[in-house]
């Protein structure tokens, strides 16, 4: 039987999609009853708790990056001259909902998927191998911080001026429902990939939001930035990758 697009991405692990709150609730149900406690002070709002949660996730990434052999490099995105790591991911507004496929080739034994990422095609697939047929602007963000979402708004405003460049984004740390709502709210028309477990965030050595990778046609990185850029700064960098290497 032919392999479905979902199979090519990989299996969703047990408990996928369950929030931390749901897991804590399950643990709470298993605990014996305790004597009544005095009233607790008011808890922070859900939005505040989410921002704190994102900060904690990013802190873990930073600590992890500094314990790896390339200590410190993870804070700066991909280096100039590096090749874009291959991936195929579910698009936020498409029909699929599965983890990203990172299989580099048919002989890559590190990843269990049968199909290499570059061979995953079809509706609702964001494939970096197809995007790199033109110069590429790839932004990686987590939802919540306004500067991150505004950076994608800036990309949306300028992309029509550069038909010879592919723009795309990865939204990490949240599930399909949240990300698809975000895309529709902002009206982003470029591909937005799902990365609920921050797999691509780590693959592209991002630890600051937003992290943007600018690559020449073919996928060779010209520059990675780790701060919000103005439209003028974005345009200057897009024009540079459009011209090609000096």
Residue-number span of the structural domain to which 125 is assigned: 73-243
The confidence score (pLDDT) of residue 26 equals: 41
DSSP 141-160: E-SS-HHHHHHHHHHHHHGG
* CATH code, 96: 3.40.30.10
The confidence score (pLDDT) of residue 9 equals: 58
On average, the pLDDT of the chain sits at 80
pTM: 0.74
| Residue 35 located in a structural domain | no
Q: Is 56 helix (H, G, I), strand (E, B) or coil?
A: helix
The confidence score (pLDDT) of residue 75 equals: 65
Contact (CB, 8 A) for 8 and 120: yes
Token reading at 246: 């000096």
The confidence score (pLDDT) of residue 4 equals: 55
User: Which of 60, 86, 62, 84 has the alpha carbon at shortest distance from 74?
Assistant: 62
| Residue 17 located in a structural domain | no
Domain count of the chain?
Answer: 1
Q: pLDDT by residue (tens digit) across 29-52?
A: 444 444 444 444 444 444 444 443
| Residue 31 located in a structural domain | no
Can you tell me the distance from the alpha carbon of 222 to that of 18, in angstroms, rounded to the nearest whole number? 38
Q: pLDDT by residue (tens digit) across 156-188?
A: 999 999 999 999 999 999 999 999 999 999 999
Distances (CA, A) of 69 to 47, 65, 74: 35, 9, 10
How much is the average pLDDT of 110-115?
86
| Residue 60 located in a structural domain | no
How much is the average pLDDT of 128-155?
96
């Amino acid at each position: 039987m032919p392999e479905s697009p979902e199979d090519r991405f990989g299996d969703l692990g047990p408990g996928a999609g369950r929030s931390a709150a749901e897991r804590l609730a399950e643990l709470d149900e298993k605990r014996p009853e305790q004597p009544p406690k005095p009233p607790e002070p008011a808890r922070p709002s859900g939005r505040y708790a989410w921002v704190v949660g994102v900060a904690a996730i990013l802190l873990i990434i930073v600590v992890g990056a500094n314990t790896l052999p390339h200590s410190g490099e993870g804070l700066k995105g991909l280096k100039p001259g590096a090749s874009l790591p291959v991936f195929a991911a579910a698009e936020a507004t498409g029909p699929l909902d599965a983890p990203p496929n990172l299989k580099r080739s048919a002989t890559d034994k590190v990843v269990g998927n049968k199909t290499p990422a570059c061979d995953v095609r079809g509706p609702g697939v964001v494939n970096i191998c197809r995007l790199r047929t033109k110069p590429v602007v790839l932004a990686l963000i987590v939802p919540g911080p306004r500067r991150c979402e505004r950076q994608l708004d800036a990309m949306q405003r300028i992309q029509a001026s550069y038909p010879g460049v592919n723009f795309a984004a990865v939204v990490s740390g949240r599930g399909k429902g949240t990300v698809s709502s975000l895309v529709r709210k902002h009206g982003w028309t470029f591909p937005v990939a799902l990365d609920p477990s921050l797999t691509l965030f780590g693959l592209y050595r991002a630890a600051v939001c937003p992290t943007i990778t600018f690559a020449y046609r073919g996928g060779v990185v010209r520059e990675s930035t780790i701060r919000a850029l103005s439209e003028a700064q974005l345009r200057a960098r897009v024009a540079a990758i459009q011209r090609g290497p000096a």
